[in-house]
Chain A
């Protein structure tokens, strides 16, 4: 609470983040930098999934599906025309000629994912609870099947490799900041409160004038947009993309991040993303050394169980650390006569 002005806190946070990015790029080796990039991408994914699952209570497992959409769109747009001619000779001419820079391709990838969320949102978001989870899982599988079969555009199961390695820590940092800003702003505004209301009690929300379908779709579409962007960043970090890149396991670990962080907490989702990514990456060499693959999954699953048992509302519950959300107290004046 020592910071007098919370308004200054966020610029300071962003500036320190930028400094950190600068220092890491100057002094860290490539291996560590790649891990840090993954951490950032997972923050984007967890924080945006938190908007759908955490704020609005829509238990979606479809996030990797939106990533795949954004990833492929960005990859096809960015790929140098010469390589496209070689790998994707059947691509329509207007598409084969495109050779976009990273940023607009990421945005268009995100928009395509958002558009698909809008289209599937109407039928799918009528479902509740585990029905919705199963339906979004179905969506993820359909996306993968479609990508596998649209060989003209995607090279099917072979995927696209040799993508230009455009993603760097600055781009990832930029999108982490944008994702957190957007969800922070929404959460602390009337729009976000209406989302939280739906999660807490849909019938009461409806009877207070909240349009359920519209609000749910808004949350779903925003979440999908950032998943699409993250997919593009991911593809151009790994420099390859195949239908199997976007797995049910990934859907699971993203949901775990939101649950561990505390459904609805932006800070929680971001910290859980950092934690889980580091656990996986740190254990990876150990797994390879011991030849015992899956240690990290087991540890994550045990961590999840521990959280569900000992702290079912996650590390942060639904809230943010209090020094970030100071509200000026109104004097608690005279109580009315009733």
Chain B
């Protein structure tokens, strides 16, 4: 698998760190793992850390928007952090930042969720 996914818990925030390449092929795995984690009772919010994400295309946008809808429906907040410039460009193009807040580092992204809860 060209994508590695690491999930950890920080109080009621699920933090998912993506490492590698997010395309249509690897998107299925990311979706499945995060959806399973979101089923846990303790999870309210979601942070995606994209520091080690080296490649993403529009399939990645679909996965992010899908999780955003789920978390928002659960009454939670979703933020992203540490986005590489080429990926930020694609996100910008899609208007993703109109609904999703981006942070420089993981701790800011996590505390931004805490503030909202």
Query: Are A and B subunits of one complex?
Result: no
